[in-house]
Amino acid sequence: MIVIDTWTGRTACALQAALRETNEGFAERLGVGTRTVAGWHSSPNLVPRPEMQQALDTIYEGATEYVQTRFSRLLRPTSIEPPEPRAQALRIAIAVVTRGDEVLLVCRRGDDALTWQFPAGMVKPGGTPEAVAVQETLAETGVHCAVRQHLGGRLHPSTDVLAAYYLCEYLTGEAANLDPQENVDIAWVPRSSLTRFIPAEKIFEPILKALEAA
The pLDDT of 186-214, averaged and rounded, is 92
The pLDDT of 184-209, averaged and rounded, is 94
Mean pLDDT of the chain: 88
Q: In this predicted structure, what is the pLDDT of residue 181?
A: 87
DSSP string, 124-142: -TT--HHHHHHHHHHHHH-
Contact between 206 and 152 (Cβ < 8 Å): yes
Instruction: Kindly state the helix (H) or strand (E) to which residue 43 belongs, with its residue range.
Output: none
Share of residues in the chain with pLDDT > 90 (%)? 58
The answer, yes or no, to whether residue 23 has pLDDT greater than 90, is no
| pLDDT: which is higher, 54 or 35 | 54
Alpha-helical segments (H) within 62-204? 65-74, 129-141, 194-197
Dihedral sign computed on CA atoms, order 61, 65, 69, 70 = negative
Q: In this predicted structure, what is the pLDDT of residue 80?
A: 44
CA distance 133 to 92: 9
Q: In this predicted structure, what is the pLDDT of residue 111?
A: 66
Backbone angles phi, psi at 92, to 5 degrees: -130, 155
The pLDDT of 107-114, averaged and rounded, is 82
Contact between 39 and 46 (Cβ < 8 Å): yes
| pLDDT: which is higher, 83 or 116 | 116
Ordered by where they begin, the domains of the chain are 9-74 (1.10.260), 91-213 (3.90.79.10)
Contact between 102 and 191 (Cβ < 8 Å): yes
Tens digits of residue pLDDT in 47-89: 888 889 999 999 999 999 888 998 988 887 644 445 554 445 6
Closest C-alpha to 136, from 147, 151, 126 = 147
Q: In this predicted structure, what is the pLDDT of residue 94?
A: 96
* pTM strictly above 0.85: no
Tens digits of residue pLDDT in 158-170: 777 899 999 999 9
